[in-house]
Structure 1
């Protein structure tokens, strides 16, 4: 449902994964007039529209700190993929500058700062697996999911989140209780859970090729195939059929011109640690 503030009421399972960007932070000299953001990817805006710089602005506003920072960003997460790459970087910026300022804000306060910038930024201050409601900013930690093979399939086409929600038919959304998914993940298996993404239908309407990609992944034998967020990437859990293992990636790239990433689930130990590769 759409709220009075213009956002839709959401109920979603979020999971952090190992596909990531790199961010390196330094405090600039005291006479620095503004923050600096460096990135070699020409598709990344380096002005104040970037969520990283917005996050630093909010941190200063909420804490009263005055330091300026230089941030070096190396992009790996594809854009317009529904993977939350920009939101993850904003959360990391909040975490990083807070560390450089002596950990003056708590984990809960940083999550609150994130909610001021974007709906799903707060998620990254969970422990990595969370049930999110509201507009995405209200989070409840969930037990870590069982390890499994994870493939991310990303076509070259991208869709804006706004366009996808604009084409969402509220009357046609699934009536299954999202809490049932949460309970299944906690009590049974990731493979027995009934995954649903109500944003698939409007995304497929805007980009029919997406439906063909999903079908091809299902026919390859993955246990779970679902679009991530508002797309256009898909996550596939498990492995393809034995006959497809050697040819799956080449075939998908040939048929649909996609990028394929292998990743894994990622969780934090506690609120005092950020996400680390192991």
Structure 2
């Protein structure tokens, strides 16, 4: 049996640059891995199948689960037809803009590469991941990166900032497809914010990171889901801190410089929000 961690991510920038001919949108994003993670146990079995169990309710256990899709794709590409029993311990909130499903898929690709000693490079695993979902290639690598195209083109970089992050997930389901479809052309960015964000991260300047933050979907999500906007306003009032959104939401987060400040913020939010997480940037 083998265990692999699947790390959540947040978007520090998300610029929508336009709509592509294939129906997807061109985006430019800075993504950062957090130490909030799922755990995946992988074990061979005699039966020629992928059987999955998960601790979170209401997630699919068939090919609609990206971890299952990753296992099936890996078996097909490697030619290894051994069966796999997969258990997913979910700690990353589901459908939250944190790439939990994509992170699980990436963990399966990395884990099976170790379990079956197939010797694929991370780049080869990321190429496989791009066939499963746009966020999977980033999740294969982890750390920090600029993602472009549909999100599958990854340009990795390093920095030393270890900011603390307090995440809150409102009890609202947000449709990513609906948010993108409702984003108007006048909301598209004329130029990406990623160069500014990368510079701020590499200089270790949290205040400049806060200033460089942008999310071209936030206004649309707030318009379509006013309860998310209302929670963001309440968090801002209670904490006195700027509030950010990851992906298309609904997860909101705060960036804080010290663990003590992050802990106080976490405690304050726990007073009126059930789903709150205290974590930090990690290079993985």
Bin the TM-score by the shorter chain.
0.7 to 0.9
Unaligned runs of 5+ in 1: 269-278
Deviation per CA, 1:69-122, whole angstroms, max 9, x where unpaired?
100111111112100000000000111111111142111100000000000100
Of 169-178 and 195-204, the range deviating more from structure 2? 169-178
Q: Secondary structure at the match of 1:49?
A: coil
- Partners in 1 of 2:172 and 2:76 — Cα distance? 37
175 and 121 in structure 1: CA distance in 2 versus 1, 3 angstrom threshold: same
Seen in structure 2, the aligned counterparts of structure 1 residues 93 and 245 have a Cα distance that, compared at 3 Å, is closer
When you count strand as a share of all residues, which structure comes out higher? 2
CA distance in 2, matches of 1:124, 1:222: 32
Structure-2 change in CA distance of 1:247 and 1:57 (3 Å): closer
Taking the TM superposition and a 5 Å limit, the aligned residue runs for 1:33-182 are 33-178=48-193, 179-182=195-198
- The CA distance in 1 between the partners of 2:91 and 2:35, in whole Å, is 11
In 1: Cα distance, 2:103 partner to 2:162 partner? 21
1:217 to 235, 238, 250: 235
Report SS of the residue matched to 2:219: helix
Q: Tell me whether 1:189 sits opposite 2:205 in the alignment.
A: yes
Corresponding residue number in structure 2 for 1:252: 272
Are the aligned partners of 1:126 and 1:140 in contact in 2 as well (CA < 8 Å)? no
1:250 deviates by 4.0
Residue correspondences, number: 261
State the Cα deviation string for residues 177-219 of structure 1 (Å, max 9, x = none). Answer: 3222222222351321320001111111111121222223333
Q: Secondary structure at the match of 2:269?
A: helix
Structure 1 residues 140, 222: closer, same or farther in 2, change over 3 A? farther
1:105-154 residue CA offsets vs partner (Å, 9 max, x unmatched): 11110000000000010002324111111111111112234112210011
Q: Secondary structure at the match of 1:136?
A: coil
Relative distance call for 1:151 and 1:206 in structure 2 (3 A) is same
Find the counterpart in structure 2 of residue 264 from structure 1: 280
RMSD: 2.2
Structure 2 unpaired stretches of 5+? 1-17
Q: Is the 8 A contact 1:164 1:230 kept in 2?
A: yes
TM-score by length of structure 2 reads 0.85
CA contact (8 A) 1:222 1:241 kept: no
Question: Contact conserved, 2:42 with 2:111, CA < 8 A, in 1?
Answer: yes
Separation (CA, whole Å) in 1 of partners of 2:267 and 2:82: 52
Task: Determine helix, strand or coil for the equivalent of 2:145.
Answer: strand
1:222-233 mapped onto 2 (5 Å cutoff) = 224-233=242-251
SS, match of residue 202 in structure 1: helix
